[in-house]
Structure 1
């Protein structure tokens, strides 16, 4: 199992950054997704190059500003996927952490590339 981690300090408040993730159907920060639908705790979307993907929202904690989700359906067969986003107050801004566990390992480079692309878009939105 591979682990991927992105960390960043933002000048925006934790609440401002959290607002982007609190709406689990918001997708303007993910370049490869145009629309997300939600049914219960499962969000579904088409991702460029990957086709239909479904993710189960495992944890959405507004007080702690934590989001955990796991891919439950994708074209590729994943043995394990768990992503965690956590945003904490840090001085006048906030600290952002996005971690993903993925297996088999061969999918890690594609997942990391997608995370980096989404993170770059997130930075543009927050600029």
Structure 2
């Protein structure tokens, strides 16, 4: 199983970053290149534009450690397994803002490079979106 980890600093404080992340039905405000999003209970459907639509199960939203997890259930990539965890962490010592840690476990491994590239684009979008709300 492939594991992809991205950890990055953002200008928003922990509370602001968490508020943006926990608004799971508005992920397209955080990752601005995403299309429309619908939320039906714990199922989030995201329009990925030219890539098609994905359906995710929101597995957990935990305010105390500021941790949210989801799993892709349907997608053009036909994952055998996909599980993702996003956490908001305190800033590095001496820094301001906060940090985001994003972990994705997936199968098949052959999709890891393509998914990592997409994550890198999402990271840049999140940095810009969270800088705009501070």
Q: How many residues get paired? A: 127
Using the TM superposition, give the Cα deviation of residue 40 of structure 1 relative to its aligned residue in structure 2, in angstroms. Answer: 1.1
Counterpart of 1:12?
A: 12
1:98-113 equivalent positions in 2, closer than 5 A:
98-113=102-117
1:3 paired to 2:3: yes
- 1:125 alignment partner in structure 2: 129
2:97 aligned with 1:96 = no
Work out whether residues 25 and 35 of structure 1, in 8 Å CA contact, stay in contact via their aligned partners in 2.
no
Cα pair 2:71 2:83 within 8 Å, conserved: yes
Q: What TM-score does the superposition give when structure 1 sets the normalisation length? A: 0.91
Q: TM-score, normalised by structure 2?
A: 0.86
Q: Which residue of 2 aligns with 1:66?
A: 67
Mapped partners of 1:115, 1:39: distance in 2: 24
Q: Is the 8 A contact 2:35 2:49 kept in 1?
A: no
CA RMSD of aligned residues (A): 1.5
Give unpaired runs (5+ residues) of structure 2.
Answer: none
Alignment pair present for 1:47 and 2:51: no
Moved over 4 A (4+): none
Find the aligned partners of 2:57 and 2:77 in 1 and give their Cα distance: 16
- Judging by fraction of residues, say which structure has more strand: 1
Q: Name the structure with the higher helix share.
A: 2
